[in-house]
């Protein structure tokens, strides 16, 4: 199920953006306004009279160039433009470089309940940090039941019914030198470049639930290298109980995908049965996927060799 995302203006004061040293000039009681777009915007065109370029839900960055331009505009015309702009659905204005803001604009924003924040940082720094912060929170997101690991540089998501052995297999893979990203509840975000990034949220980060043992802290048990904060999801492996008589892919020619937030990810169904070392199988699946990404598909190469052998041994009519 996808997560509906927005960021309240108050969240811009979080520790992640502490380097911007944001302060409130007005709108202290309206910090609950919602930012709904990950891209910030500079309202220079709007100050010039092109109001339709103000997009709803976007942070508006007012820098030195905007202030310099406004100083050249006739005061009466500037006031009319201010009145038009504050009537638009703007969640917050941020003034950079500690620049002073026009008292008329400040009064209008206070009247309309639009927060104005100020930062001593340069415009490009504010833009860069805010864009990263907002993109990380406002892209499409969902929560999945599974275990995410980093194996051979790949993000491998293990899914399957509860009790199938996902966490136990993941723990075995951690002891083999791989890293845990998230156990049980994986938060996944889809970024504009096509990457699906998974991670763990909240106090359960770096922890695993093992039946019979309870909750264990993987970072404390195995060290910092045994965990990772996040990873792209490159391969989905579904563990399922072995069913006698059920047809399973024996050659590896079938290429299936698993859709996460409308993004297809290579997908493997892996039957679990007594005597099968699932962690080794998952590790081999990851190695094999790396080879495929490099252009080496073992099953197809074998088929081509067999076809060539048959063709050589077939008499010419």
Active site residues: 145, 166, 184, 250
Parallel/antiparallel/unpaired status of strands 230-232 and 196-199: antiparallel
Please give the Cα distance from 195 to 234 (Å, whole number).
9
Distance CA 265, CA 260 (A): 7
d(CA 186, CA 202): 11
φ/ψ of residue 60, rounded to 5: -105, 120
Q: What is the DSSP string of 184-207?
A: EEEEEEE-TTS-EEEE--GGGTTE
Cα separation, 92 vs 89, whole angstroms: 9
Yes or no: say if 277 and 208 are a contact pair by the CB < 8 Å rule. Answer: no
First vs last C-alpha separation in the chain = 60
Element of type H or E holding 3: strand 2-3
Maximum alpha-carbon separation in the chain: 94
Compute the distance between CA of residue 7 and CA of residue 10 in angstroms, rounded to an integer: 8
Q: Give the single-character DSSP code of 263.
A: E
Provide the 10 A C-beta neighbour count for residue 15: 6
What is the Cα–Cα distance from 24 to 94, expressed in whole angstroms? 9
| SS3 of residue 134 by DSSP | helix
Return the H-helix or E-strand segment holding 81. Answer: helix 75-86
Q: Is 123 in contact with 59 (CB distance < 8 Å)? A: no
């Amino acid at each position: 199920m996808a997560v509906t995302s927005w960021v309240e203006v108050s969240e811009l004061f979080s520790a992640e953006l502490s380097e911007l040293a944001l302060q409130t000039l007005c709108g202290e009681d309206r910090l609950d306004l919602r930012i709904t777009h990950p891209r910030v915007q500079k309202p220079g065109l709007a100050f010039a009279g092109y109001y339709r370029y103000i997009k709803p839900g976007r942070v508006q960055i007012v820098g030195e160039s905007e202030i310099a331009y406004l100083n050249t505009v006739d005061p009466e015309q500037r006031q009319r433009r201010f009145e038009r702009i504050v009537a638009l659905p703007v969640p917050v204005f941020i003034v950079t470089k500690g620049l002073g803001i026009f008292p008329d604009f400040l009064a209008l924003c206070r009247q309309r309940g639009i927060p104005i924040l100020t930062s001593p940082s340069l415009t490009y720094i504010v833009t860069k940090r805010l864009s990263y912060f907002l993109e990380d929170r406002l892209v499409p997101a969902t929560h999945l039941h599974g275990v995410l690991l980093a194996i051979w540089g790949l993000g491998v998501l293990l899914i399957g019914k509860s009790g199938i052995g996902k966490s136990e297999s993941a723990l075995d893979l951690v002891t083999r030198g791989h890293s845990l990203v998230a156990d049980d509840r994986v938060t996944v975000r889809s970024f504009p470049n096509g990457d699906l990034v998974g991670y763990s949220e909240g106090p359960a980060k770096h922890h695993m639930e093992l039946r019979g043992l309870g909750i264990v802290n993987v970072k404390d048990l195995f060290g910092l290298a045994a965990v990772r904060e996040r990873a792209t999801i490159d391969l989905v492996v579904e563990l399922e109980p072995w069913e006698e008589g059920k047809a399973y892919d024996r050659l590896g020619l079938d290429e299936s995908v698993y859709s996460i937030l409308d993004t297809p990810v290579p997908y493997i169904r892996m039957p679990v049965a007594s005597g099968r070392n699932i962690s080794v199988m998952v590790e081999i699946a990851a190695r094999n996927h790396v080879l495929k990404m490099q252009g080496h598909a073992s099953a197809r190469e074998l088929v081509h060799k067999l076809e060539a052998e048959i063709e050589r041994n077939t008499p010419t009519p």
